[in-house]
Amino acid sequence: MGAGPGDPNLITVKGRNLIEQADAILFAGSLVSETAMRWAKPDCDIQDSKGMDLEEIVAWLIAKAQKKQVVIRLQTGDPSLYGALIEMVQPLDEQGIEVGVIPGVSSAMASAAAGVESLTLPEVTQTVILTRVEGRTPMPEGESLVELAQHHCTLCLFLSITLLKKVQTDLRAAGWSDDAPVLVIHKASWPDEEQIVRGTLADIREKCRAEKINSQAMIIVSPTLGARHWSELKKSKLYDKSFTHRFRKAVS
């Protein structure tokens, strides 16, 4: 189940209801706030997985599920992004254990919200790429940051804050200018811990170093950043009075 970006109030209603019913919860303590467990039953078996490897995590889940308990694996953001969802599900499938996934709010969306930014704008960009910079995990062929950044659309870079120098190098190689706006959000939505850093491709690394941001940060690079303060803006056709759709006729 996705715990969302950090603020426990951003867990979905369905997710909160499931926490209330759970007999056992295994949460990713390095990334998920323990306050998310405040809705759990007093006798719920709650375990932090931050010191566990994959085999230990899977063994714990199987052992609890085989007791016919409601068991939750609670992880940050949405389970479909940069998690070990399939690695965990396959052994459960082999044991005949029923599995369901509850989606969560991604840190990409929470970061855009924190900055009051839109990831898409008419006639600016209509495309968002969710990706990461190559580190210990290699990128598949054709998915290097240089290649993806050549689209000059919105880039949401996960798990890359310690590689900002490479981000700068790769974006420049893809044709981005030094004055391209960059937004970095540390712990998006976390009460009293969220940090927002705005800069340009040229200075964002130094600004993040000055704020000591070196983990749990989303990097957004986009031609839409700062549009809130633009004097001219191409507006959506959805609300244009001269645009007809099935709920409203155009007014000339």
Q: Is the pLDDT of residue 121 over 90?
A: yes
131-143: average pLDDT: 91
For residue 181, the one-letter residue type is P
Q: Show Cβ contacts of residue 144 under 8 Å, excluding neighbours closer than 6 positions.
A: 134, 170
Entry pTM: 0.91
103-118: average pLDDT: 97
Please tell me whether residues 118 and 220 are part of one structural domain.
yes
Query: Residue 65 to residues 78, 97, 99, 133, 234: CA-CA distances in angstroms?
Result: 22, 7, 10, 36, 53
Please tell me whether residues 132 and 70 are part of one structural domain.
no
Give the whole-angstrom CA distance, residue 160 versus residue 219: 8
Please tell me whether residues 77 and 119 are part of one structural domain.
no
Q: What is the CATH number of the domain that holds 73?
A: 3.40.1010.10
111-115: average pLDDT: 98
H or E element, residue 200: strand 195-200
Length of the chain: 252
- Segment 147-186, tens digit of pLDDT: 999 999 999 999 999 999 999 999 999 999 999 999 999 9
Please tell me whether residues 183 and 75 are part of one structural domain.
no
For residue 77, the one-letter residue type is G
Give the whole-angstrom CA distance, residue 134 versus residue 154: 18
What is residue 248's predicted lDDT score, i.e. its pLDDT?
67
- Segment 123-132, tens digit of pLDDT: 999 999 999 9
The sign one gets for the Cα dihedral 174, 129, 228, 111 is: negative
The pair of three-digit structure tokens given for residue 84, joined into one six-digit string: 């070990």
What is residue 241's predicted lDDT score, i.e. its pLDDT?
67
Backbone angles phi, psi at 218, to 5 degrees: -105, 135
Q: Binning pLDDT at 50, 70 and 90, where does residue 242 land?
A: low
Please tell me whether residues 63 and 13 are part of one structural domain.
yes
Q: Show Cβ contacts of residue 140 under 8 Å, excluding neighbours closer than 6 positions.
A: none
Q: What angle do CA 174, 121, 200 make, to 5 degrees?
A: 45
Q: What is the CATH number of the domain that holds 139?
A: 3.30.950.10
Find the domain containing 35 and state its range.
8-94
